[in-house]
């Protein structure tokens, strides 16, 4: 593997950058930009009062990243207000997911984070009412191809992504956290029952601490969006550190909750790679208990080889000749976990041969 030493060192210990020369700073900033982590690193340095000691040129990049991240937090807060105004007449609580949830809950995971969209979770029975209300307030559906519409509405765990006509913000409306055709079947009702209200909002909630961690783990280890995998692992690290200190009984009941939701496998990977890559302080007894979700030893070795390559910035200084192959295999794995073989074959054939032909006309 090529050297990802600067970013790996700083993510584990922000103070490590105090000995960096300008060449190392240059490489760190490039790697962090490719991983969407420049704002997070800048925030970590600022929290530790280390930013002022950074040389002028790299500090200017870090300070600019903080400004962008702060503006994005404001944009997410405004977007959530707009969404709730649109859904004011729909009689259902709305659960914020991922980045929007971190912002609404004022969690450390929101500090310096960049956002691509807003994700919400609503009951499946309310999807039609939610979608209609959003359309009346300027959101339109994307993925207009008839196959894509059927793919989302029949098999997936969400509506086709929606985009606002004027703000161009993207909204993902989920009714559960994994496709209904997936091998793992977490009960969304259990997630909704344990969700926590957000101060200052009516009918807005976030997932309970353990469920927020489990959803983050499930998103990372069952999705094919590997370009954000290191950022998502850093999110997990932040959630685990925060809830491990501030949520009573968190470590003692995390594995049990994963069993209740059929999510022991993604939790096993989450604890394994956060502790190995980012030195997340996971108690030994929790790591041992999480082995209930472990696959075979051979599969673990294979996953180690794949994820150790995929969870690096998409920068020339990171990776080796096998990195591209590792990412492609993990992308195929994500689809294998989402669909039974007959449906997967049908989907891949359509995307490979029919969809490209349709775009020519």
What is the CB-side half-sphere exposure of residue 105 using CA atoms within 13 A?
A: 24
Structure tokens belonging to residue 292: 């209930």
Alpha helices in 199-322, H assignment, sequence order: 209-222, 229-246, 250-260, 264-278, 284-289, 297-310
Q: How far apart are CA 58 and CA 51, in angstroms?
A: 10
- Report how far apart, in Å, the C-alpha atoms of 2 and of each of 5, 117, 154, 314 are: 9, 32, 43, 12
Sequence-ordered list of residues with C-beta below 8 angstroms from that of 293, at least 6 positions apart, any chain: 258, 263, 264, 265, 266, 267, 268
pLDDT at residue 296, rounded to an integer: 96
> For the residues of 31-63, what is the DSSP string, one character each?
HHHHTT-HHHHHHHHHHTT-GGGS-HHHHHHHH
Structure tokens belonging to residue 97: 């997911």
pLDDT at residue 151, rounded to an integer: 78
Structure tokens belonging to residue 220: 């990372």
pLDDT at residue 354, rounded to an integer: 66
Count the Cβ atoms, other than its own, within 10 Å of residue 3. 11
Buried b (16+ CB within 10 A) or exposed e, 161-185: bbbbeeeebbbbbbbbbbbebbebe
Sequence-ordered list of residues with C-beta below 8 angstroms from that of 361, at least 6 positions apart, any chain: none
Q: How far apart are CA 269 and CA 304, in angstroms?
A: 9
Q: How far apart are CA 136 and CA 87, in angstroms?
A: 10
**92-103 pLDDT, tens digit each:** 889 999 999 999
Structure tokens belonging to residue 290: 């999480």
pLDDT at residue 115, rounded to an integer: 85
Q: How far apart are CA 306 and CA 323, in angstroms?
A: 8
What torsion do the CA atoms of 124, 125, 129, 132 make, to the nearest 10 degrees?
Answer: 40
pLDDT at residue 211, rounded to an integer: 98
Q: Digits of tens for pLDDT over the chain (361 positions)? A: 445 688 989 999 999 999 999 999 999 999 999 999 999 999 999 999 999 999 999 999 999 999 999 999 999 999 999 999 999 999 888 999 999 999 999 999 999 998 888 999 999 999 999 999 999 999 999 877 777 777 788 878 888 999 999 999 999 999 999 988 888 999 999 999 999 999 888 889 999 999 999 999 999 998 767 888 999 999 999 999 999 999 999 999 999 999 999 999 999 999 999 999 999 999 999 999 999 999 999 999 999 999 999 998 888 888 788 888 999 999 889 888 887 777 777 777 766 666 555 544 3
Q: Residue 170: what are its φ and ψ, rounded to 5°?
A: -110, 135
Contact by Cβ (8 Å): 160, 171: no
Contact by Cβ (8 Å): 236, 266: no
Alpha helices in 143-248, H assignment, sequence order: 146-150, 188-194, 209-222, 229-246
DSSP state, 143? -
User: Of 326, 318, 297, 100, whose CA–CA distance to 216 is shortest?
Assistant: 100
Helix (H) or strand (E) holding 329: helix 323-338
Q: How far apart are CA 229 and CA 220, in angstroms?
A: 6
Residue spans of beta strands (DSSP E) within 84-231: 94-97, 118-121, 139-141, 162-164, 170-174, 196-197, 204-206
In this prediction the pTM is 0.91
């Amino acid at each position: 593997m090529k050297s990802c030493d600067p970013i790996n060192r700083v993510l584990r210990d922000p103070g490590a950058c105090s000995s960096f020369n300008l060449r190392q700073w240059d490489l760190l900033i490039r790697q962090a930009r490719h991983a969407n982590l420049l704002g997070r690193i800048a925030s970590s340095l600022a929290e530790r009062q280390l930013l002022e000691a950074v040389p002028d040129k790299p500090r200017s990049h870090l300070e600019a990243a903080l400004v962008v991240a702060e503006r994005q937090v404001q944009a997410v807060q405004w977007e959530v207000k707009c969404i709730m105004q649109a859904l004011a007449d729909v009689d259902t609580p709305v659960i914020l997911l991922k980045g929007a949830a971190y912002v609404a809950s004022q969690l450390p995971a929101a500090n310096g984070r960049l956002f691509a969209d807003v994700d919400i979770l609503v009951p499946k029975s309310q999807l039609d009412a939610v979608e209609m209300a959003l359309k009346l307030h300027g959101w339109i559906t994307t993925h207009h191809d008839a196959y894509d519409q059927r793919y989302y509405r029949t098999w997936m765990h969400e509506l086709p992504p929606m985009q606002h006509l004027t703000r161009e913000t993207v909204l993902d409306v989920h009714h559960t956290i994994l496709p209904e055709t997936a091998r793992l079947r977490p009960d969304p009702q259990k997630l909704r029952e344990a969700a926590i209200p957000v101060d200052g909002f009516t009918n807005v909630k976030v997932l309970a601490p353990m469920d927020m961690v489990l959803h983050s783990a499930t998103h990372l280890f069952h999705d094919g969006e590997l370009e954000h995998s290191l950022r998502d692992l850093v999110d997990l690290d932040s959630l685990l550190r925060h809830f491990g200190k501030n949520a009573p009984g968190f470590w003692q009941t995390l594995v049990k909750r994963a069993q209740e939701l059929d999510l022991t496998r993604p939790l096993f990977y989450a604890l394994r790679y956060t502790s190995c890559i980012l030195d997340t302080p996971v108690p030994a007894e929790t790591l041992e208990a999480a082995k209930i979700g472990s696959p075979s030893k051979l599969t673990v070795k294979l996953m180690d080889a794949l994820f150790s390559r995929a969870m690096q910035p998409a920068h020339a200084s990171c990776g080796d000749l096998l990195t591209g192959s590792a990412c492609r295999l993990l992308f195929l794995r994500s689809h294998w976990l989402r669909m039974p073989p007959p449906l997967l074959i049908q989907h891949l054939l359509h995307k490979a041969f029919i969809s490209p032909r349709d775009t020519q006309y």
